[in-house]
Amino acid sequence: MEGAKAIIESIEKHGTDRVFGHPGGAVLPLYEALRASGLVHVLTRTEQGAAHAASGYARMSGKPGVCIVTSGPGATNIITGIATAQADSVPLLVITGQVQRSRIGTDAFQEADITGASEPFTKHTYLVQDADELPRIMKEAFHIASTGRPGPVLIDIPVDIQKAEVKDSCDPQIHIRGYKPVFHGNRKQIKKAISAIEKSERPLVCAGGGILCSGARTPLNLFLQKTGIPVVHTLMGNSAIDGGLANSMGMIGSHGHLRAKQALRESDLLIIIGARISDRATAGGQIFESHKTIVHIDIDPAEVGKNIETQIPIVGDAGDVVMYLLKNMDPDRSWNWEPCRTPSEEPVPSKTRADKLDPAVLLHSVSKKADPDAIFTADVGLNQIWAARHIEMSGKRRFLTSGGLGTMGYGLPSAIGAKMAAPGRQVFAVMGDGGIQMSLGELGTLAESGEKVVILLLNNQYLGMVRELQDNAYGKECRHGVRFEKGPDFVKIAEAYGLRSAHACDMESFEKILHLSLAGKDSWLIDCKIDSKINSVRRF
Amino acid sequence: MNKRILSVLVENHAGVLSRIAGLFSRRGYNIDSLSVGTVEDPAYSRMTIGITADDWQTEQIMKQLNKQVPVIKVVELLPDDSLIREILIIKVSAPVEARREIKDLADLYKASVLDITQDTMVLEVTGQQKKIESFIDHMKTYGLLEIARSSSVGMQRGSSVF
């Protein structure tokens, strides 16, 4: 069998129905094999878009997202997408074409050392040197990407290997000596945690994105309901907690809720589940460093004790550990404490400007009208914080964003991928006018796909988050390089791509367009003219 | 911050060395020395890595190393339980009248003579870092011409195998 065919067969065998990619000279044999296969090819407009779309697909399907790009610039263009997936623990299988083996190292046309360049941003990389190794490498790559702490795996395949004959293409046995992720949390450690929790007066759970990676949302919410232990979440853990839960205290971190921060301060024991506790989550760190017992549950041993000192480390799958906690904790004990001093949260403004939209009001309205299992992707910047704070993650809603790397341009392509993985669910892409201009070409991908995504473009003609940072650091008179003086007419752009689109300047027009967009089968871009004075978090 | 030595068993293929070396630079760990050689099974290599780190950093480094797919096992070689050696090859100026003295010193250090010319000698010595440094100091008297020094290699004492 030809190498290219063996690669495509392996992808089919691993249960994915599509690949996201951008072809080129070094992947011609692969595309020929792809054409003859049952796999759908989604042609994104940039390689980075392919990685983000695959990321949305992976996060909603639970299977690795597969990308195929060509050598050289194709490969280097996808690095940001790979790094984005690595930071948020998203399983990707990235196949890059490479120049033929005899030309490697000669600075040939479109040659780049992609295994070297992508090394810091991948869970693992392969450079295939022998066609006979293809079946094993493909199988290992899928295994590594999707098990343990998920992440991107890159396979660089020289074009002559794609054309070479694979002698033995049967299903190989794999045995990776250096890769044995722990799944079951150590029972002794969990018991230690249980006794510490039972002794504590004010325990608090901090839920991270690991809950969603592990599929632990249901057991975790059951655990929270049964024990009454209050819960806070990180940005990545947004949608890990059922919105209706009474003991949910909101999001922690630099743009989090005051109630969540206060709960952190007052708790005497913290159970961190599937969270790295990054610098954004600690927002200065003080509230984590106060004297309290910390139980840290994570599948990646290197994350336990990295950013925050822990007394009871538990390495294992979030779902496995939470189930064990649930079964072994005293069923009669419950904790229903609330922070003593609950500061008042940002209210939804009742009065807004007549000619501009308020993002909080707008997103509350979307939140009310969206399906209980709607998927929301958010880009990066003000739109991301607004989306995380104002869209209620009730029911089985999902929130996808680039939380770790903070990659602008993630929202649109990831929404396309998410929709493809969950065609029956409503998908919204919350974008800013900065991020959408980094991914405009993907409007074409969306139009071509025939899938329906509603793009809520929160347009304030600013790189609003950077503006806010500049204001805070240097004062308002020092704003520089953050204003889009001549923002394009996004409605015309969307229409040029064959999408439906309209401007919304006030809530009345917005509600009408939203209603229209939700009713039909077409994708929409709603250009929402946002009051440009509004910052990420308003304190009243 | 102490000097420490890690022994790391890794898969022996292209890219592993750069992946491990890159890990140190991108996470800002201090790497003092690195030596690599295949082991009894040519599918694997052993890296002996000298670092300067405190207890917490050492734990972080070991965890990050363990996280790499090609890394099979990581142990810290503790000075009391380990045998750690370096090798030194040194070319010194050795006119006929100094040869006897240099040879006597070499004997004290169990160094061997690898090469000799009219006015130079090449000597080889193995031992712990301090011994090597002390030998170099002695040779300075005669005039150092060239030095080639390996970094540390080592293993744990006793019958346990890793």
Residue-range domain boundaries for chain B = 2-77, 83-154
Nearest CA distance, B10 vs chain A (angstrom)? 8
Q: Which residues of B touch A119 (CB under 8 A)?
A: 15, 18-19, 22
The confidence score (pLDDT) of residue A268 equals 94
Instruction: Give the CATH number, domain containing residue A122.
Output: 3.40.50.970
Residues A493, A431 contacting (CB under 8 angstroms): no
Do residues A301 and A401 share a domain? no
Residue A534 falls within a domain, yes or no?
no
Q: Does residue A525 sit in the same domain as residue A378?
A: yes
In angstroms, the Cα distances linking B131 to A103, A104, A250, B79 are 48, 45, 61, 15
Q: What is the pLDDT of residue A6?
A: 96
Residue B104, pLDDT score: 95
Predicted local distance difference test score (pLDDT) of residue A84: 98
In the predicted model, residues of chain A with pLDDT beneath 70 are: 169, 284-286, 539-540
List chain B residues with CB under 8 Å of A116. Answer: 15, 18
Q: What is the pLDDT of residues A414-461, one digit of tens each?
A: 999 999 999 999 999 999 999 999 999 999 999 999 999 999 999 999
Class of domain B83-154: alpha beta
Query: Is A315 within a domain?
Result: yes
Are residues A112 and A50 both part of a single domain? yes
Same domain, A519 and A397: yes
Under 8 Å CB pairs connecting chains A and B tally to: 40
The confidence score (pLDDT) of residue A68 equals 98
| A341 C-beta neighbours (distance < 10 Å), count | 9
Per-residue pLDDT at A179: 96
Tokens of A226: 């049964």
Nearest of A437, A455, A435, A438 to residue A447 by alpha carbon: A455
Residue A98 backbone phi and psi in degrees, to 5? -135, 155
**Number of domains within chain A:** 3
Helical residues (DSSP H) of A253-311, grouped into ranges: 258-266, 279-282, 286-289
Contact (Cβ atoms closer than 8 angstroms) between residue A71 and residue A25: yes
Residue whose tokens read 């809720």: A257
pLDDT digits (tens, 9 = 90+) for A84-127: 999 999 999 999 999 999 999 999 999 999 999 999 999 999 99
Instruction: Let me know if residue A178 belongs to a domain.
Output: no
Whether residue A289 lies inside any domain: the answer is yes
Summarised one tens digit per residue, pLDDT across range A36-64 is 999 999 999 999 999 999 999 999 999 99
B79: region left, alpha or beta (phi > 0 left; psi from -120 to 50 alpha) = alpha
Both A278 and A388 in one domain: the answer is no
Compute the nearest-CA separation of A177 from chain B (Å).
6
In a domain, A540, yes or no: no
CB contact under 8 A, B72 and A178: yes
Give the Cα separation of A250 and A235 in Å (integer): 10
Interchain proximity B72–A302, CB inside 8 Å? no
Burial class of B68 by CB neighbour count within 10 A (0 to 12, 13 to 18, 19+): buried
Residue B73's φ and ψ, nearest 5 degrees, are -155, 145
Encode pLDDT of A327-343 as tens digits. 999 889 999 898 887 77
Give the global pTM. 0.95
Q: Are residues A203 and A155 in the same domain?
A: no
- A105–chain B Cβ distance below 8 A for any pair: no
Residue A157 and residue A304 share a domain = no
Structure tokens at A62: 């639970």
Query: Beta strand pairing status for B2-11 and B71-77?
Result: antiparallel
Give the N- to C-terminal CA distance of chain B in Å, as an integer: 27
Chain A residues in contact with B15 (beta carbon < 8 A)? 115-116, 119, 125, 127
**Region of residue A391 (phi > 0: left; psi between -120 and 50: alpha; otherwise: beta):** beta
The whole-angstrom distance between residue A373's C-alpha and the CA centroid of its chain comes to 17
Shared domain check, A302 and A156? no
Contact A123 B69 (CB under 8 A): yes
What does the pLDDT read at residue B35?
94
Q: Is residue A333 part of a domain?
A: no
Extract the tokens encoding A242.
């059922």
- Mean pLDDT of the residues in chain A: 94
A37 lies in some domain: yes
From B47's Cα to the closest Cα of chain A, the distance in A is 15
Asked whether residue A323 falls in the same domain as residue A380, the answer is no
The string of pLDDT tens digits covering residues B56-91 is 999 999 999 999 999 999 999 998 999 999 999 999
- The total number of residues shown for chain A amounts to 540
Asked if A145 is an interface residue toward chain B (Cβ–Cβ < 8 A), one would say: no
Question: What would the two tokens of residue A352 be?
Answer: 């807004």
Q: Can you give the pLDDT of all 162 residues of chain B as single tens digits?
A: 899 999 999 999 888 999 999 999 999 998 999 999 999 999 999 999 999 999 999 999 999 999 999 999 999 999 899 999 999 999 999 999 999 999 999 999 999 999 999 999 999 999 999 999 999 999 999 999 999 999 999 999 998 887
- Which residue from B18, B59, B70 is facing A178, i.e. has the nearest CB? B70
Instruction: Give how far the C-alpha of residue A183 lies from the chain's centroid of Cα atoms, to the nearest Å.
Output: 22
Let me know whether A522 and A405 are in one domain.
yes
Q: Are residues A17 and A159 in the same domain?
A: yes
Nearest CA in chain B to A126: B15
For residue A181, the chain B residue with the least C-alpha distance is: B67
A263 within domain boundaries: yes
Which of B14, B66, B69 faces A176 most closely, judged by CB atoms?
B69
Give pLDDT, residue A29. 98
Test B15 with A116 for CB contact under 8 angstroms: yes
Taking the C-alpha atoms of residue B102 and residue A144, their distance in angstroms, rounded to an integer, is 57
At A454 the three-state DSSP class reads: strand
Q: Are A479 and A515 members of one domain?
A: yes
Q: What pLDDT score does A285 carry? A: 61
Q: Check residue A113 and give its pLDDT.
A: 97
Pick the CATH number of B2-77 from 3.40.710.10, 3.30.70.260, 3.30.70.1140, 3.40.190.10: 3.30.70.260
Question: Domain with A308 in it: what CATH number?
Answer: 3.40.50.1220
Residue contact B10–A178, C-beta within 8 A: yes
Structural domain containing residue A81:
3-163
Q: What is the pLDDT of residue A352?
A: 74
Domains B2-77 and B83-154 fall in the same CATH topology:
yes
Measuring CA to CA, which residue among A339, A331, A359, A361 is closest to residue A349? A361
Q: Which of A426, A441, A435, A425 is nearest to A457 (CA)?
A: A435
State the pLDDT at residue A540.
54
pLDDT at position A354 is 79
Q: Is A483 on the interface with B (CB under 8 A)?
A: no
For residues A496 and A470, is the Cβ–Cβ distance under 8 A?
A: no
